[in-house]
Structure 1
């Protein structure tokens, strides 16, 4: 997904991972379903892998 954030002539990352996250977060309300679903599914997977979140939100 990083390809959409950088110039196609650049061979390395042009934005930090934090900056990329901020850009994706800002784009969420207008993002098409096809691009939004993989982002949300991966985020949910990463959150579920963290013990602290499983304990805090396990009942939900």
Structure 2
């Protein structure tokens, strides 16, 4: 099953280095220039990314 991890590069709650280590288990990772809750701070960015990922696997 394809998987993509989203790493929040400006996260102060979960350090990006920890996220990158966890993301290594996914098929790939994508970094976004957001804090901990991109769905609140950058919903359009996250929605666009999710649409793109979904289209690649359709």
| Fold shared by both chains (TM-score > 0.5) | no
Structure having greater relative contact order (Cα 8 Å, sep ≥ 6): 2
More helix by share: 1
Q: TM-score range by the shorter chain?
A: 0.3 to 0.5
Say which one has the larger Rg. 1
Normalized against structure 1, the TM-score is what? 0.40
